[in-house]
């Protein structure tokens, strides 16, 4: 008998990967999305965005599959999905925190500020107007960015040396601190690779062995690509790739959603996706 190929599941970053870096469009990837849909290949979003931010995009994409948010800190599964229930983009989801609950992270930041006098403003203390001023998001976008479950961004208002001391204190307390522009993000110990593993175990329990394919463009995607059976670095806006190709990790021939399409079409041409 011919060998039965494992069903594929695609895990993808959003910004500068499936979505264009400049206008956040995915038109260039549409033929590949259509090809995956025709083959019943799930596309699972894995992003730094919040569940509220992803919800509207999933409706536009007509994507009813599980997804991961806040850099793998939490995963969301449509109710009944792994029990064979037909799910759409508007099916209510059940959220599981893999890292640490936001309340715990807010408490940690508040305690460290009181103890050491650090100066910052956390998202938990900010209004939508504050977020708009700090990020440039529109009002609906600011509201969705405030709906966090497994991370707490802090608008840093202190010195660089104070930031280093704060991040060291967060790590010493058993959590993770990441710097991003004007913000310091306080997180639990979970990343995109953990989210991929968590979802793969659910797919495998339902479908048997699966082929996990991951696509991303930046450093916070590295763990996800390493955890996948096949990983693709999508070219960044300047045409470079964040990491080297080698082993199970490849370079996509294109930038953003055009590169995303090229990667999927290559997988189909190689019959790795059937």
Cβ distance 70 to 148 under 8 Å?
yes
User: Among 65, 62, 66, which residue's Cα sits nearest to residue 74?
Assistant: 66
Is the CB of residue 108 less than 8 Å from the CB of residue 187?
no
SS3 (DSSP) at 193: helix
- Whole-number Cα distances in Å, 232 to 229, 255, 261: 10, 12, 11
Compute CA 231 distance to the chain's CA centroid, rounded to the nearest angstrom. Answer: 15
Tell me which residue has tokens 């895990």.
11
Taking residue 161's Cβ as centre, other Cβ atoms within 10 Å add up to 8
Is 13 one of the annotated active-site residues of the chain?
yes
Give the span between the Cα atoms of 49 and 72, in whole angstroms: 10
Q: Contact 156/183 with Cβ under 8 angstroms?
A: yes
Count of residues in the chain: 274
Longest CA–CA span in the chain (Å) reads 69
Instruction: Please tell me which residue in 13, 194, 217, 223 is annotated as part of the active site.
Output: 13
- Nearest CA to 261 among 20, 53, 89? 20
Query: Distance between CA 58 and CA 84 in Å, rounded?
Result: 20
Tokens of 5: 């190929």
Task: List active site positions.
Answer: 13
């Amino acid at each position: 008998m011919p060998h039965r190929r494992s069903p594929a599941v695609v895990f993808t970053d959003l910004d500068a990967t499936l979505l264009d870096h400049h206008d956040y469009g995915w038109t260039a990837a549409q033929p590949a999305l259509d090809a995956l849909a025709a083959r019943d290949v799930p596309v699972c979003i894995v992003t730094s965005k919040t569940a509220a931010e992803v919800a509207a995009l999933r409706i536009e994409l007509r994507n009813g599959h599980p997804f991961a948010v806040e850099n793998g800190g939490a995963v969301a599964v449509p109710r009944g999905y792994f029990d064979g229930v037909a799910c759409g983009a508007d099916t209510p989801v059940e959220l599981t925190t893999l890292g640490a609950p936001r309340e715990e992270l807010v408490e940690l930041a508040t305690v460290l500020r009181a103890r050491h006098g650090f100066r910052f403003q956390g998202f938990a203390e900010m209004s939508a107007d504050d977020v708009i001023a700090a990020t440039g998001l529109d009002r609906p976008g600011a509201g969705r960015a405030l709906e966090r479950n497994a991370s707490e961004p802090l608008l840093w208002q202190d010195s660089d040396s104070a930031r280093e001391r704060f991040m060291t204190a967060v790590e010493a307390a058993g959590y993770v601190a990441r710097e991003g522009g004007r913000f310091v993000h306080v997180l639990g110990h979970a990343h995109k690779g953990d989210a991929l593993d968590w979802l793969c175990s659910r797919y495998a329990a339902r479908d048997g062995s699966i082929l996990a394919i991951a696509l991303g463009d930046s450093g916070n995607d590295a763990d996800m690509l390493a955890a996948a059976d096949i990983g693709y670095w999508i070219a960044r806006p300047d045409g470079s790739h964040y990491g080297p190709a080698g082993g199970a990790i490849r370079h996509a021939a294109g930038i953003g959603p055009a590169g995303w399409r090229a990667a999927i079409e290559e997988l189909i041409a190689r019959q790795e996706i059937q």
